[in-house]
Structure formats: C-alpha cells, structure tokens
C-alpha cells in the first residue's frame, strides 16, 4: 500500500482489523464519476455497494451506519477519497440513497470494519481432508432475504475445504436477512487463502 499525494497532502494507507471503528461525515458521488476508473482500476458503478476511503485497504468490507436515522449498509472500499476536510467516506449513489444521505449531501456516520473481500495472493490451499470446529474467523458466502435460499447455499457449501456452513439471521432496515458463513478458520490469513482459492463470488472474511 503506497502513499499517495492529492492537492499537496500525502496520505498513508494503513492496515485495519475486523472491529475497527471510525466516526465522521459521509458524503456521496454519482453521475459525474459513473464509468470512470477508481483508484484500484475498476470502473465506478454508482449503483454498486461500494465506497471511497482515504486510507483503508482496497476491498475492505465496512458497515456504514447513518447516525441520523440508524440505517446501515455494508460496502466494499474500491476507491480513494473524499478529499474534503472532515469527511471520512464517499458512498456510491445507491448506498447514499439507501442510507438517506442523498438529500442532505452529508451525514454523520460510524464505520465498522466487518471483513475483507476474498482477493488476496494465496500461499497454500486448505486441504479437503482437514476438519475444523474451532476458530475465530468466518467467510461469508451468501446473503438472502428468504431462509430457503440461505439453506440451499448452506447445503451447497457445507464441508467445503473441511469447514462447516451455518446460517445466521440478522436485521437490515427492519427486515430479516439470512447470511451463510463457513466457520472454523483459525486465522485471518487462513480465511483469506480459502476465499481466494475457492473463487466464491462476493465472499468476504469476518470475525465470529
């Protein structure tokens, strides 16, 4: 993660861990940037669950909560910014709309690091012969509004790499959401290696 300079100020990307918290102002960016390249080389999609942060590592998964209305969303960091004093995160238009930030332009938020997107360079793949029942890290492999869909995914991935699949119920905007996790990873590195090697779309790492 190399330092970079914007408008004469140098920023130093840093490592973060699951559970890290930051408070400040959120803003959003939309049509003027849609289709343009982000800092990690992707094309900005204002309808995606993404955001820009000045120092969080790319592909960090962050829960953003609007302190004005308690609405929250999980985003993936894929860009740098906002380069305005006092602001800590720039949301995509979709996320800003979901959190009620469009009309006001900015809102006080709390950020919580919840995981890391599974795009890391692998060292070794976990053996399918190992069976783990302990561990403090999980890999989320899916999220569903209906329990039936979550159970299908659970059955599909249960036992993959020797890890156990579980379904956990959460609340999002007052509605239940069912998330499917593979459990038993003993370290963040082990979970990252698994997520990279299995190429499960949208998989990311979180702490139990």
CA distances 101 to 1, 44, 65, 93, 121, Å, are 30, 19, 11, 9, 36
Kindly indicate the confidence band of residue 171, based on its pLDDT and cuts at 50, 70 and 90: confident
Bigger pLDDT: 82 vs 113: 82
- Count, in order, helices (H) and strands (E) of the chain: 3, 12
- Rounded to 5 degrees, φ, ψ at 88 are -115, -15
How sure is the predictor about 125, in pLDDT bands with cuts at 50, 70 and 90?
Answer: very low
pLDDT confidence of residue 107: 98
Size of the chain in residues: 208
Q: What is the model's pLDDT at position 189?
A: 78
pLDDT (0 to 100) of residue 203: 79
pLDDT at 100 over 50: yes
Query: Do residues 185 and 131 lie in contact, with contact meaning Cβ atoms separated by under 8 Å?
Result: no
DSSP H or E run through 155: helix 147-157
Q: Residues 144-164: what's their mean pLDDT?
A: 90
Looking at residue 135, its pLDDT comes to 59
Domains of the chain by residue range: 4-116, 137-207
Average pLDDT over residues 161-172: 87
Collapsing DSSP to helix, strand or coil, 16 comes out as coil
pLDDT value at residue 95: 97
When pLDDT is cut at 50, 70 and 90, the band that residue 57 belongs to is confident
Q: Residue 103 has what pLDDT?
A: 93
Confidence tier at 117 by pLDDT (50, 70, 90): low
Beta bridge partners of 139: 182, 205
**Mean pLDDT, to the nearest integer, of 33-54?**
94
Q: Which of 63-67, 134-138, 194-198 has the lowest mean pLDDT?
A: 134-138
Stretch 81-107: mean pLDDT, rounded?
96
Q: Does 120 have pLDDT greater than 50?
A: no
Return the CATH number of the domain spanning residue range 137-207: 3.30.70.1070
CA angle 100, 102, 107 (to 5 degrees): 65
Distance of CA 12 to the CA centre of its chain: 20
**Close Cβ partners of 140 (under 8 Å, ≥ 6 residues apart):** 115, 179, 180, 181, 203, 204, 205, 206
Read off the pLDDT of each residue in 150-163 and give the average, rounded to a whole number.
90
Average pLDDT value over all residues in the chain: 85
Q: Return the CATH architecture of domain 4-116.
A: Beta Barrel (2.40)
Mean pLDDT over residues 42-55, rounded?
A: 94
Q: State the average pLDDT over residues 83-108.
A: 96
Q: Is the pLDDT of residue 129 over 50?
A: no
């Amino acid at each position: 993660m190399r330092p970079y300079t914007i408008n004469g100020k140098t920023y130093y990307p840093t490592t973060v861990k699951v559970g890290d918290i930051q408070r400040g102002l959120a803003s959003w960016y939309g049509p003027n940037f849609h289709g343009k390249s982000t800092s990690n080389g992707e094309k900005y999609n204002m309808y995606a669950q993404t955001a820009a942060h000045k120092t969080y590592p790319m592909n960090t998964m962050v829960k953003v909560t609007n302190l004005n209305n308690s609405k929250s969303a999980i985003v993936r960091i894929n860009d740098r910014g906002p380069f305005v004093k006092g602001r800590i995160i720039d949301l995509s238009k979709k996320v800003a709309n979901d959190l009620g930030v469009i009309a006001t332009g900015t809102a006080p938020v709390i950020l919580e690091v919840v995981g890391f997107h599974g795009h890391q360079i692998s060292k070794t793949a976990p053996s399918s012969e190992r069976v783990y029942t302990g561990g403090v890290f999980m890999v989320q492999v899916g999220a569903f509004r209906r329990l039936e869909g979550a159970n299908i995914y659970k059955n599909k991935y249960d036992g993959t790499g020797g890890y156990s699949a579980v379904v956990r119920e959460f609340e999002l905007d007052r509605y239940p959401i069912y998330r499917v996790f593979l459990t038993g990873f003993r370290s963040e590195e082990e979970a990252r290696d698994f997520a990279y090697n299995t190429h499960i779309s949208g998989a990311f790492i979180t702490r139990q």
